[in-house]
Chains A and B, each alone.
Chain A
Amino acid sequence: MATFEELYRQHVQAVFRFALSVAGKREVAEDLTSEAFLALHRNLAAIDQSQLPGWLLTVVRNRARDWWRRQMVERRYAEQFVAAPEPQAPPVERWLLESGDLKQVHRVCLALRYVQGMTRAEIAARTGLTEMQVKGHLQYALTLLRKAHGVEET
């Protein structure tokens, strides 16, 4: 039977990544991760360790639900979004979504920067990447974009 610290080291990365994906903010992800492991600490004697990391992820998911409920009240999110954009996407958009040269991380950085209009710092805060990584991914993707659209390098 593993100790708490061993379990923490074994699962913390997966739990944190999941927390970041459901909350979208690093500090909230850290809170959720911390709460999940605190719950594990409380229940360590009773828990079936073969249920990990699913058990931890479920704690994160349940706490994230509570967190989003509170956000709903505080931020009054508009509940109706445009069902789908109009047809006729420009060629750049089709390339962004379909190009086999791009990795998923490039598509996300491009979309956050040029569709959702975020700064590099905002992208970094929401994805967990560093600003340098975001900059690198964008530079690489823009080079491919220029090539794909026949724009000569300067």
Chain B
Amino acid sequence: MSTDRDDWDREERQALAGLEDQIDAMRRRHTGDPPFELLRAARAEVLPEDLQTSVSEHIAASAMSRTLADGSGDDVPALSDADQERLLARIVKEARKESAPAGAWGWLRPVLVGSGIVALAALVWVVSKRTEVGERLGPPDTQVVVALPPAAPPFLLPFEKPDVRLGMGALTWRGSKPTATDDSNQLLADLKPGLDAYRRNDYAEANRALTALASRYPGTIEILFYQGVSRLFLNDYAGAIASFEAAEAIGDRTFAGDVAWYRAVAEQRAGRDAQARARLGAICNARGPDAPRACTALAQLAKPSATPR
């Protein structure tokens, strides 16, 4: 691993000329940081407990580590077609090996199984005899109460407040009767009270103001999306799902990822786990910016009864 600027090539030296001291200072500030792979593993909560705690605390405190822990976003790698086929061949080969008979010693299996059954039957008979004696001579019954540890809290999809952003449609809105002399944007003016309330965490007022606008501006994604998030904060999960459903129907690509993610959050909190899992599965399989967190969440959401080892 490179430790200083000695391994910079000519292009890097040119690009960073005059900034070397800042680069050095930045590197010195982070010499005690966990390595990249630990940060990524901690994000997926797969580290042993002590290390998980230590690295998670670091991630919470350091913006640089958070950036690395979030990975490379939508530019995620993929298996090439050749790698995919190679891996499939490897899996099929392993699977065949597992299910293949024992070869030349295959005849021995029924003999061993038969002997095992006889030995087991004999063991059961001996133990039952001893138990009968023990029960006759043993102390009176005592009741043993086993205190079970409290059940772990159920995993909830992370829910962070998204910042307000406006799509091109809203920013360039001119209404149905644009006039050459009128440059005002009535939609932005009408959105302002609701979005201001949202910004100051007054979700009841944000929900009220945005709901009042919904019928007047039916195709406006910002109204439905921030209405949905506000309802999530108000624990109105059914209402939030309805907002996100309507937002999805608009088909705005800028908000599509966020709408799908927050709809999954609302569905999980509403107890609709199957729908939440299906939605996360779709996000995870797509190569969008939300794919990594959806895959991680999906792994954590798996039903305990179906959790494989």
Residues of A within 8 A of B (CB): 5, 8-14, 16-18, 20-25, 30, 33-34, 37-39, 41-43, 47-48, 50-55, 57-62, 64-65, 68-69, 72, 77, 79-86, 89-93, 96-97, 103-105, 107-109, 111-112, 114-119, 122, 126-129, 133, 137-139, 142-143, 145-146, 149, 151, 154
Contacts and interface: CB of A to CB of B under 8 A. Distances in A.
Contact of B23 (A52, A64, A92, A105): A92
A72 B15 CA distance: 39
B282 to A, nearest CB: 10
Interface in B107-145: none
Interface of B: 1-4, 7, 11-12, 14-19, 21-23, 25-27, 29-38, 40-41, 43-44, 46-48, 50-51, 54-55, 57-58, 61-64, 67-68, 70-79, 83-84, 87-88, 90-91, 94-95, 98, 274, 277-278, 280-281, 284-285, 287, 289, 291-292, 295-296, 298-303, 306-309
A42 B99 CA distance: 9
Given A14-B284, A108-B67, A22 B40 contact: yes
Contacts of A50: 274, 278
Nearest to A80: B54
A53 B283 CA distance: 11
B285 A129 contact: no
B18 A151 contact: yes
A62 B63 CA distance: 28
Contacts of B98: 38, 42
B67 A17 contact: no
Main SS of the interface on chain A?
helix
Given A16-B78, A105-B72, A82 B32 contact: yes
A114 B23 contact: yes
Contacts of A129: 72, 75, 77
A77 to B, nearest CB: 6
A57 B298 contact: yes
Contact of A69 (B33, B37, B48): B48
Nearest to B274: A50
Contacts of B46: 22, 61, 64-65, 68
